[in-house]
Amino acid sequence: MKKVIAATTLASLLLAQAAFASTGTITFQGAIVKTPCAIPAATWVSYAQKPASYRMARQAAPTPYCADATATQSVQISRIVTTEDRAGDVRNEPVRSMVTVVYN
């Protein structure tokens, strides 16, 4: 009997909390994230290949209206080979790269 009373009490408390939670108001001003700045791909490739230049770009003054290098955590470059490019000899395949930028 005590378990039934405890379960009923707990259920009614949870329902009461849900009712109160649904009546609240959240006010938000601004934006959660900025849109990425129009940075040429060659610049990101340069940052990935030259970590010192990327560090300098991250330490610059941030752009107020878009997310530039100051709003990133990392940039890296990887060589990729797609299945349609795959040939018998890997050395003869065109070199393709993918730059990955991780924003904050």
Select the more confidently predicted residue: 53 or 12.
Answer: 53
Q: Residue 74: what pLDDT?
A: 94
Q: How would you class 79 by CB atoms within 10 Å of its CB: exposed for 0-12, middle for 13-18, buried for 19 or more? A: exposed
Q: Where are the beta strands (DSSP E) in 1-95?
A: 72-80
Q: For the chain, what percentages of helix, strand and coil (3-state, to nearest 5) are there?
A: 40, 20, 40
Q: How confident is the model at residue 93 (pLDDT cuts 50, 70, 90)?
A: low
Answer yes or no: pTM beyond 0.75.
no
* Average pLDDT in the chain: 77
**The predicted structure's pLDDT at residue 69:** 93
pLDDT at 85 over 60: no
Report whether pLDDT(52) > 70: yes
- In angstroms, the Cα distances linking 40 to 22, 36, 43 are 46, 11, 5
Q: Which residues contact 44 (CB under 8 A, 6 or more apart)?
A: 75, 99, 101
**pLDDT tens-digit series, residues 13-38:** 566 555 555 556 666 666 567 888 99
Question: Residue 68 in contact with residue 86, Cβ under 8 Å?
Answer: no
The SS3 assignment for 3 reads: helix
Mean pLDDT of 26-51: 82
Predicted local confidence at residue 35, as pLDDT:
87
Task: Write down the pLDDT at residue 90.
Answer: 57
Are 102 and 73 in contact by the 8 Å Cβ rule? The answer is yes
